[in-house]
Structure 1
Amino acid sequence: MNQHHFSRRTFLHGLGVSMALPWMESLRVWGDETNSSKVASQAPIRLCVTFSGNGFHSKEWWAKGEGRNMELGQVLQPLADFREKLVFVRGLYHEEARKGNIHSSQTGNMLSGAPIASGGEIRSGTSFDQVIAQTYGRSTKVPSMVLACETSNPSVHKNYSMLYSSHISWSSPTTPTPLELYPALAFDRLFKDASSPEDKSVLDAVLADAQDLRRKISTGDKQKLDEYLDSVREIETRIANAGKRGELQGWRPTLDKPNMARPADGIPQDIAEHMRLMIDILVLGFQTDTTRVATLKLNNDHSALRFPNLASVEQPGHGIDYMIHHLLSHSDKTDWLKVNQFFMEQLAYMAWKLDAIQEGPRTLLDNTMLMHCSSMMAGALHNNDQLPVILLGGAGGQLKGGRVLDYTGKSDRQLSRLFLSMMDQFNVRLKTFGDARTRLEEV
């Protein structure tokens, strides 16, 4: 693990505001100021875990072959351009998740493999993203970002708390990491100090410092700085417009229009915009090295999201908002496949964003280990004897893409073996994790 240190050169400053800079050749952005070397330090590795609930189409989640010739099932088609940076993992699962009920006990230990408590007790295990955040993540302003696009569910389902099905990141066995659903607050956490006024533009606050910096960097870095500042301005504008569109996500309200004025700085009411705005903020957090660890829960297991933005095949002339996500998952109809592909389109959007950012000889995607997972293989079957898992990115050159890793029919199929191997990439080396005692040598 690179031991990166903070310095005044790492940030742009303004009144009550700190904005971390992207990687630049002219500056040792992640380097130690006391180091006399003129060579910029290597960009750090980032971890991102994304999750979508209720599994996928039972016949269309598959991959075979390798490299650019890898063939993908219809669910994964949106990721076709990234098949050479994709690792399809088949056959791993959590034994503890097969005990108890469906949904809650299948999700509450998604990133830990720990036993789940039933009844009124809330107990799982510290998730591997938070294990990384508590060590590797301390090098950044924000040790980890835990983002979501659907609120948590506090009810109980078949003797298990639905909080399990609403959280994949756990700071301790009894503490699910708080979710951030509001783009404005996620953005503020990246850039604003506690004392900053809420209505102050982050970009406006640091413009003077940015102009001073431009005089000290190379021509290429000036262009990179300008592109970065433009992206910050775009996100600020989109946050200001959040919630002004007409589509509604989640449960369908009983009124066509709200009967009260919508609060400022709310959640976008278009689920596609909400997801992409969260992705943009996540990428910005990685790009600025404000955080190196992030999870994004696109929806819950047992999800209530609806998708009026997607044209229905089953009900021509309508959007896919006639049924909530959870109930839709109980079939393998074409509309379910379209929803699956919609989630993969968000992952592809993130990959494109990451891959467009150059960090020395690699892209930000090359310096990221991105895992997407779900709590079951197929919603129609609620089966979790093997779980859908893919990896994207290069982990700083340590992860080779364009492969299918198939563990079906083998012993030691613990998904936590993958987590042990992933933690190794961040110099977090544990002897055991969850029910795993050995690593996956292929990762």
Structure 2
Amino acid sequence: MSFLKSRRRFLQTLAGASILTPLSLPGLARIAQASTTGQAKTKVVFFVVPDGLATDSFQGGFNQGLWFPKANALDTSDFILNEISQELADYRSQSLYLQGIILGLGNSGHNGWTEVLRDKNKQYSSIDVVLGNALLGTDPSQRSIFSGPHASDSTNWFVSWDGKNIRRPESDPKLLFENIFGSGNQVRAKAATNSKHLFDPIYSDIKLLRSKLSVTEKQKLDIHLDSVEQVVSDMEATIPTTAECNPLVVDENPIMSAEYRNNVQASHHQVVATTLSCGISRVATIQVGRSADQVVIKEVSINANPHDLAHRYKSEQEWIDCRKWYVRQAKLFLDELSRHADPDVPSDSLLDHTLVVLTSEMSDGAPEHQYNQPMLLVGGMSGRLKSGQGNGRYYNIQEYADRNHWKAGQQVDQQRIWATLAEAMGVSVPYDGNVSTVPNIFS
């Protein structure tokens, strides 16, 4: 039953045998344009960049870096964006900058990827999976899209988790596109409405096979068959997308090449935004590179990798430019969301009904700490994000802290931000410990 490890590939085989019926790409687009609901459905995207956002200065001054806005109050719309956060100036009016957050014990270095989107004890699913299981799009098999990093290797430092199992993202945006939309004349297989049960044609073979298996082997077989049935059930539950859907195939580029790094990242943005704009999924995670990123950013440095720059091994200007590049990717993704219409309220942009959460697996790259974590909530979110009534907002939440850190002072556990977001979306997190919500973030 090893062929079941690739569930979609198996289902494509069934489609070729006429057990499932494919839809054409043009047909999908026509169905997509058929109707809209008029009822806004909030989408959530987690945008995770590696190696921190320079919250400390190049000389090592704590909280004297280039990320957090400069403000004279703990909760205010009167603030000045810092040198790196200035990259997101175009979206200030829809932005909420949070300060006073700690991840884990605050000193796990590059191991922060194991918990950045999860609970403090690293026991349960990450927040993208929790939300994805509850906020379904038109295709239940695409509950939570996981895009990137294209800068991957054997370390597998990925930020999304299903329970205690790490999820593997699709590093190649072209393959991600094909996984979601299909390719050629087989866009996305859907069970034929007039077909019999999936296993009817091979029922006698399954029965014979079961008779030859031990109890344990039968259980394994049943698990595999149930897995196939669940995928088919998801596909049968797939409903037509409800807005303009224009799934343009992205270019194929070498994903590990520094030469094409910007192109590959832009393609990831395009695929995720298109998936959301088609209503296929409502939750996604974009991981840009990975912790200890090794792929050179050529416009920053032709020799030094981003990890070394984050650790301040090179010049201060390279350190600044490298951090700016990552934040600029978030800005470019917001641009992409702005270009698409919302699938349910097509008179609005996709960004009007999307929340983007920008964070990192650490706060600053040189000391590799996770206290005073960078956290930006940005986007229209259907009017539910309290972002300063159109002026943007800086909000220091230390007064709601769980604990006191020896250097950072009062800090709020990052899992409480996820609990607060989940509650705003009508979901609860399964996390242990303190999951009390932080007030006055969402309406």
**TM-score of the aligned structures, taking structure 2 as reference length:** 0.69
CA distance in 1, matches of 2:89, 2:279: 28
SS at match of 2:109: coil
Q: Find the residue that maps to 2:168 and give its secondary structure.
A: coil
Shift of residue 335 of structure 1?
0.9
RMSD: 2.9
Equivalent of 2:91, from 67, 82, 86? 82
Q: Which residue of 2 aligns with 1:327?
A: 308
Change in Cα spacing, 1:16 to 1:88, as seen in structure 2 (3 Å) is: closer
Match of 1:146 in 2: 146
Q: Does 1:43 align with 2:40?
A: yes
* Residue equivalent to 1:7: none
What displacement does 1:291 show?
Answer: 1.1
* Shift in Å, 1:434: 4.8
Aligned 8 A contact 2:23 2:185 in 1: no
Distance of aligned partners of 1:85 and 1:95 in 2 relative to their CA distance in 1, 3 Å threshold: same
Distance 1:420 1:68, change over 3 A: closer
Q: Distance in 1 between matches of 2:331 and 2:434?
A: 30
Pair 1:108-2:114 in alignment:
yes
Partner of 1:370: 356
Residue 342 in structure 1 maps to residue 332 in structure 2: no
Q: Structure 1 residue 442: deviation in Å?
A: 1.6
User: Counterparts of 2:38 and 2:434 in 1: how far apart (Å)?
Assistant: 34
Cα distance in 1 for residues equivalent to 2:379 and 2:117: 19
Picking from 381, 387, 397, the partner of 2:367 is 381
SS in 1 for 2:136: helix
Structure 1 window deviating more from structure 2 (145-154 vs 391-400): it is 145-154
Deviates further, 66-75 or 342-351: 66-75
CA distance in 2, matches of 1:436, 1:186: 36
Gaps of 5+ in 1: 1-12, 29-39, 117-123, 155-161, 193-197, 204-223, 250-268, 313-319
Aligned residue type for 2:327: M
Q: Is the 8 Å Cα contact of residues 76 and 395 (structure 2) preserved in structure 1?
A: no
Alignment partner, residue 441 of structure 1: 439
Cα deviation, residue 342, structure 1? 1.2
Question: 1:97 Cα deviation (Å)?
Answer: 5.4
Match in the other structure for 1:55:
52
Alignment-derived partner of residue 353 in structure 1: 336
Q: What is the CA–CA distance in structure 1 between the aligned matches of 2:349 and 2:96, rounded to whole Å? A: 18
1:15 Cα deviation from its structure 2 partner? 4.1
Cα offset for 1:153?
4.2
Label 1:276 to 1:435 Cα distance change in 2 as closer, same or farther (>3 A). farther
Q: Which amino acid counterpart does residue 126 of structure 2 have in structure 1?
A: S
Contact 1:97 1:115 in 2 (8 A): no
1:169 is aligned to 2:166: no
Please show how residues 212-227 of structure 1 align to structure 2 within 5 Å: 225=244
Deviations 1:324-345 (A, max 9, x none): 2111111171112111111111
Q: Deviations over 1:243-268 (max 9, x none)?
A: 39xx932xxxxxxxxxxxxxxxxxxx
Write the distance in 2 (CA, Å) between the matches of 1:139 and 1:74. Answer: 40
Change (3 A) 1:80 1:169: same
Distance across 1 between alignment mates of 2:438 and 2:269 = 29
**Cα gap change, 1:41 to 1:16, in 2 (>3 Å):** closer
Structure 1 residue 23 displacement after superposition:
7.8
Question: Could you tell me which residue of structure 1 aligns to residue 4 of structure 2?
Answer: none
Residue 239 of structure 1 aligns to a residue whose secondary structure is coil
The alpha-carbon distance between structure 1 residues 425 and 323, as it changes in their structure 2 partners (threshold 3 A), is same
Tell me the TM-score normalised to structure 1 length: 0.69
1:306 partner SS = coil
Say if 2:85 and 2:327, in contact at 8 Å, map to a contact too. yes
Q: Secondary structure in 2 aligned to 1:295?
A: strand
Question: Mean Cα displacement is larger for which, 130-139 or 273-282?
Answer: 130-139
> How do 1:262-411 and structure 2 match up within 5 A?
270-308=260-298, 310=299, 312=300, 320-331=301-312, 333-359=316-342, 360=345, 362-401=348-387, 402-408=392-398, 410-411=400-401
Task: Determine which of 231, 236, 239 is the counterpart of 2:251.
Answer: 239
Q: CA deviation at 1:133?
A: 1.3
- How far has the Cα of 1:368 moved from its partner? 0.7
Describe the SS at the equivalent of 1:404.
strand
Deviation at residue 420 of structure 1 after TM alignment: 1.1
Cα distance, 1:152 vs. partner?
4.0
**Contact 1:243–1:270 (CA under 8 A) maintained in structure 2:** yes
| Structure 1 position 248 matched with structure 2 position 245 | no
1:302 CA displacement: 1.4
Question: What secondary structure sits across from 1:383 in the alignment?
Answer: coil
**How far did residue 70 of structure 1 move?**
3.8
Q: Distance in 1 between matches of 2:48 and 2:339?
A: 23
Residue 421 of structure 1: aligned partner: 420
**Matched residue SS, 1:365:** helix
CA distance in 1, matches of 2:136, 2:336: 22
Counterpart amino acid of residue 87 in structure 2: P
State the distance in 1 between where 2:30 and 2:432 align: 37
What amino acid is the match of 1:51?
V
Task: Give the number of the structure whose alpha-carbon radius of gyration is greater.
Answer: 2
Q: Deviations over 1:78-106 (max 9, x none)?
A: 210110101101111123454xx4212x2
Structure 2 distance, partners of 1:435, 1:338, is: 38
